[in-house]
Structure 1
Amino acid sequence: MVRVLIVDDHSLMRRAVREVIEKEVDMQVVAEACNGQEAELQAMETQPDVVLMDVDMPDCTGFEATERVLACSPNSRVVIFTSAHQEQLLFQAIQKGAMGYITKDIEPDALIHAIRCAARNDLCIPGAFATQVLAYLRSSWKVNSVYGGLMSSAVSYRTPRRTIHMSVGGETTLTDASSNLPRPLTDREKQILDLMRKGRKNREIALELAIAESTVHKHVQNIFEKLHARNRTEAIYLTTAEG
């Protein structure tokens, strides 16, 4: 069951999206939020699999809310859900850790497709932006394969996020990944990362490995530092993308 949190300051939009999602037998809307603060609280309480995140909200942007949500619910995948067709916002979404960027004029089937992409850790973007994004990726990493199915409104693929940046002028650039290569993990760190992939919390990992929870915490921090990851989701995502 894919558990979804809907974040949008318009109740009518939340209701419409809920109706689309709850027609799927393997999806469930576990909570709704009308602003970033409420999104953070709901994410902390429900730990959703996927968060549909509006960009324009009264208290903060969807990008700021994305960082808050991932900080308190690191295994969640955020999909930016907006009315704006802007390439620079797409790259800002990816930079903040989002797993997708879709627009509100999307067809119901494509919305479900985007949620499924995020749930399986695939990045989903509007088809109109696919050419630019893939050009950036090929020039920087010489990407050899594209993952996921191509639909009329979206294409999904995997790629490391840590070298995607926004320049001051709003132009999107990809920095050379060779200056920020990850360092190898120890056997214990790999073991802990595997348990993180299974959704284990620090306390559960400590019990399973018969070590102190504080030791697990230190190993997790070392994993983040070595992989240049900001949270569990990104650490798992980066090692999956590069493996």
Structure 2
Amino acid sequence: MIKVLIADDQTLMRDGLKTILDLEDDIEVIATAENGEIAFKRASELNPDVILMDIRMPIMNGVDSVKKIKSILPKVSVIMLTTFDDDEYIIEALSNGASGYLLKDMPAEKLIEAIRDSLKGQLFIPTNIAAKLISRLYEKETSKKTFKKDLDLSERELQVSSLLIEGYNNKQISSKLFISEGTVKNYISNIYSKIGISDRTKAALFLKANL
């Protein structure tokens, strides 16, 4: 079962999402929260697999909640929910570890698909947001070193990078390229070294913007 926590300050939204998700055989809503502070508390107690997090909430907003939650539960997938295309809030949430965002008026089937896909490491970030996120993530890095456009990746490293961008895990990359998982890990380690990033999600975002 996929354990889901819903955080939204609107009762109708929380109850509506719970009703939709509870119809799925492989998804269980284990808790709801009306603000980011309660979301953090319940996440730390219940260790959900996926959190649906409203961006704007009282007491503690979704952005700050994501930051606190990811500091203690780095593997949890957090999908931000918003009623509008608020770039700055979205970028801030993504830079703090969110897996992506969805608009609240999305079809139910898209939400359910996103929950399942988030556990596979897939990102839900439109190209324009991804470009802004890359800029945000590397504001500090560019002050330390000159950005290198030529990544100097080998043909096999480019293949691995393409699958990394698509959200494939090491086992899936191994199967796709007919190489061992150990070899995949070595290629990914080399890629990390060449781009100067050791976080898988940030590496995928960087490669998506630069390949």
The interval holding the TM-score normalised by the smaller chain is 0.5 to 0.7
TM-score, normalised to structure 1's length?
A: 0.56
Cα separation, partners in 2 of 1:132 and 1:175, compared to 1, 3 Å: farther
Out of 165, 177, 194, the position equivalent to 2:136 is 165
Greater per-residue helix proportion: 2
Aligned residues: 159
Pair 1:48 & 2:48 matched: yes
Correspondences of 1:161-240 after superposition (within 5 Å)? 163-165=134-136, 235=199, 237=201
Correspondences of 1:1-243 after superposition (within 5 Å)? 1-125=1-125, 130-133=126-129, 136=131, 163-165=134-136, 235=199, 237=201
**Alpha-carbon offset, residue 179 of structure 1:** 5.5
Secondary structure at the aligned position of 1:123 is classed as coil
Cα separation, partners in 2 of 1:238 and 1:56, compared to 1, 3 Å: closer
Two-structure CA RMSD over aligned residues (Å): 3.2
**Alpha-carbon offset, residue 69 of structure 1:** 1.2
**1:51-79 deviation per Cα after TM superposition (whole angstroms, max 9, x unaligned):** 00011111122100101111222221111
What residue ranges of structure 2 are gaps of 5+ in the alignment? 149-169, 171-195
Q: How many Å separate the matches in 2 of 1:69 and 1:180?
A: 31
- Contact 1:52–1:80 (Cα < 8 Å) also in 2: yes
What residue ranges of structure 1 are gaps of 5+ in the alignment? 138-160, 168-172, 182-196, 198-226, 230-234
- Contact 2:197–2:203 (Cα < 8 Å) also in 1: no
**1:179-231 deviation per Cα after TM superposition (whole angstroms, max 9, x unaligned):** 599xxxxxxxxxxxxxxx9xxxxxxxxxxxxxxxxxxxxxxxxxxxxx867xx
Give percent identity, aligned residues only.
29
**Alpha-carbon offset, residue 164 of structure 1:** 4.5
Secondary structure at the aligned position of 1:60 is classed as coil
- Contact 1:40–1:69 (Cα < 8 Å) also in 2: yes
Corresponding letter in the other structure for 2:128? Q
TM-score, normalised to structure 2's length?
A: 0.64
